[in-house]
Amino acid sequence: MVNIQSIINSWNNEKYIHTLSDILEWVKLRNRQLRVDIKKTTLSKCFPWHYDENSGCIKNEQGAFFKIYGINQSINGELISQQPIMLQNEIGYLGILVKIVDDVAYFLMQAKIEPGNINKIQISPTLQATKSNFTQKHGGGKPAYLKYFLNAKPENIIVDQIQSEQSSRFLGKRNRNVIVITDDDIDEGDNFRWMTLGQIKKLMRYDNLINMDTRTVISCLPFSLYSNDIKSIKSQNELPSINSYVKIFNYFNDYKMHNDITSEIVSLNSLKKWHYNDKGEFVCENNYPFKMVFCDISIEGREVRHWCQPCFEAEGIATFGLIFKKVNGLYNFLVKAKPEIGCFDKIELAPTVQIEYGIEFDTDIVTELFFDRYKKNIGVNTNVLLSEEGGRFYHEQNRNILLEIKESELIDLPDGYFWCTYTTLNMLCQVNNVLNIQLRNLLSLFEGDF
């Protein structure tokens, strides 16, 4: 049975199976032992990927994994944006196994490399696999511990949510975020270590160490569903705000009903301002947050050790910022309703600030305050570079900032912003596709004073 207090104990407790320094040394050792060779190539040499003239997309010859099309976005028939976009309709697993020892939950974490990781090894969920992976369409072996997630009993499931991923790069992509309790005696082996939730959160303070998939799964921990059972966790021990729910969903539903923006999948080669440069990269002639590159990859220790694939490479570092404050002793977070070109249901809740590199944005009292305080280092609680999805994005890292302000500040907000308690956001995270990946990742960093 789920014992949420064991998760809280895991957050606060200092009973470790491995110390923090042992975990850091383990990651260094795995990096030294791992042989990796990743180099850029061109589409013509990126077998078995190719441009399919009939469908207008770049795809794998099996039609598995993902495809890359073009997408046009228009208002009343007038084109406002066009770009490449990834279609990955299959839902994969992002799963963490948990065991409970002496009323403390331990999370089984993996030292895993993805081809796009900027620093090789990052700490990942127990299971991180697309459906194509775990059905072995790549010709390799099945991922470790898959059976625990395929055969999980409801009474052993802590989290089971289908959540969205980067909607500026993917069209409607979602993955299944799962945390499952096991009573089995599991041998860690070389690539896995048991960690407490507190250790995972401390490791999130290191640049590019805890990967995106771990962060999103951790953000789904359902504290709000067990508030009556939780001891000594101040900011979650209150009811969600019904007023916030009504305001947010009213805004969402108005947008979904009345906005005039339409998106259309088109042939990749029809994108007028995109072309291949002399390096074989697919780039925009104007400033754009990313380009498409092609990689030849050799990595030891994976289900498949050599393959080629396209990736999106960021042109710079984006800024994701979340403002928070205490109101009557409770943490409140400032979030913003944000539509994105590939959003599964048009619009989601985003951080206070979500600004892609190279994109102009309209300033308001919120963004002005955020960047003023950030530049002066006033109220900055967390400031860390964290990687995005290394399986599809090449060397993408973005700045994640938690910034605290006074209770009296930002009372009157511009349209589309909302103050929400931690419990309200945590409850909304139990609903599919309400909080976007950037907001979930920032919430996973939050520690508070529990």
Nearest to 92 by CA among 123, 64, 63: 64
CA distance 65 to 39: 21
The pTM (predicted TM-score) of the whole model is 0.94
Report residue 346 as tokens.
């048009």
> What pLDDT shows up at residue 416?
97
- What percentage of the chain's residues is helix, strand, coil (to nearest 5)? 25, 35, 40
| 234 pLDDT higher than 50 | no
Q: What is the CATH number of the domain that holds 359?
A: 3.90.79.40
| 443 pLDDT higher than 90 | yes
- Which has more confidence, 396 or 230? 396
**Residue 64 falls inside a structural domain:** no
H/E segment holding residue 321: strand 319-327
Instruction: Give 41-51 pLDDT, tens digit per residue.
Output: 999 999 999 99
pLDDT range class, residue 140, cuts 50, 70, 90: low
Contacts of 426 (CB under 8 A, 6+ apart): 221, 222, 223, 224, 236, 443
> What pLDDT shows up at residue 395?
96
Q: Are 292 and 269 in contact (CB under 8 A)?
A: no
- The average confidence (pLDDT) of the chain is 92
**Residue 346 falls inside a structural domain:** yes
| 97 pLDDT higher than 60 | yes
- For 336: left if phi > 0, alpha if psi spans -120 to 50, otherwise beta; the answer is beta
Helices H / strands E in the chain, number of each? 10, 25
CA distance 159 to 161: 6
**Residue 142 falls inside a structural domain:** no
Report residue 292 as tokens.
């498409």
Instruction: Give 61-89 pLDDT, tens digit per residue.
Output: 988 889 999 999 998 889 999 999 999 98
| 235 pLDDT higher than 60 | no
Residue labelled with tokens 């990743």:
38
Nearest to 183 by CA among 10, 1, 14, 15: 1
pLDDT range class, residue 243, cuts 50, 70, 90: confident
Nearest to 149 by CA among 163, 165, 128: 128
**Residue 190 falls inside a structural domain:** no
Q: Strand 157-164 relative to strand 174-181: parallel, antiparallel, unpaired?
A: antiparallel
> What pLDDT shows up at residue 132?
66
**Residue 348 falls inside a structural domain:** yes
What is the tally of structural domains in the chain?
Answer: 1
Give the CA diameter of the chain.
62
- Which has more confidence, 359 or 280? 280
**Residue 383 falls inside a structural domain:** yes
**Residue 32 falls inside a structural domain:** no
Overall average pLDDT of the 307-328 stretch:
96
Q: CB count, 10 Å around CB of 317?
A: 12
pLDDT range class, residue 232, cuts 50, 70, 90: very low
pLDDT range class, residue 15, cuts 50, 70, 90: confident
Overall average pLDDT of the 300-313 stretch:
86
Q: In this predicted structure, which of 280-284, 303-307, 389-393 has the lowest mean pLDDT?
A: 303-307
Report residue 278 as tokens.
């002399």
Report residue 297 as tokens.
């990859």
User: By residue range, what is the domain housing residue 402?
Assistant: 235-261+316-445
Overall average pLDDT of the 237-255 stretch:
84
Overall average pLDDT of the 401-427 stretch:
96
Report residue 304 as tokens.
């498949």
Overall average pLDDT of the 300-311 stretch:
85
| 386 pLDDT higher than 90 | yes
